[in-house]
Structure 1
């Protein structure tokens, strides 16, 4: 399968003194440690790579949220797939970078 872009947002349910940003940081650490190309945005993280690998990373990110103290996690996923050549983050936002 060609490279895809997968954007995802985790929305952890937290209580007490636990802050949701701290839990989201654990999910982003999973992505950062995965070795795939990615960009963190204010509303979601976008990764580039093989769809099956990226979906496994999303699962691990959800597990990291639970391990960090969230009682549950709602995850929104968007996938951009193009069978003839793949999709890159740079083709979408490269012109906006310095």
Structure 2
């Protein structure tokens, strides 16, 4: 299967002073998987195969719960086309 993009915005229900700490653990996990990813101010976008990226999304939920979140709200966006789609084709012209 061709590479696709999945964007994940994760909002763990933890005390305000812990939100960044928990989100940082999710981002560290994403980095450990070896998929191509970019962190933005509102979400993290990943590039890879759909099944692998959806497993990462599932694990991200569990990380938040393991960190004490009573609930996790996530927004997931998937950009798919059969021949594949890359982050670079969408935003490469904006990079310096």
TM-score category, normalised to shorter length: over 0.9
- 2:17 and 2:62 map into 1 onto residues whose CA distance is 16
How many pairs are equivalent?
96
**Deviating runs (4+, > 3 A) in structure 1?**
none
TM-fit CA distance, 1:43: 0.5
Partner of 1:92: 90
Provide the alpha-carbon RMSD of the alignment.
1.2
Q: Is the 8 A contact 1:9 1:75 kept in 2?
A: yes
- 2:66 and 2:25 map into 1 onto residues whose CA distance is 9
Tell me if 1:61 matches 2:60. Answer: yes
Equivalence map 1:1-98=2 (5 Å): 1-15=1-15, 18-83=17-82, 85-98=83-96
Gap regions ≥5 residues in structure 2: none
SS of the aligned residue for 2:25 comes to helix
* Comparing 4-13 and 65-74, the one that deviates more: 65-74
Gap regions ≥5 residues in structure 1: none
- 1:5 and 1:72 map into 2 onto residues whose CA distance is 25
TM-score by length of 2: 0.93
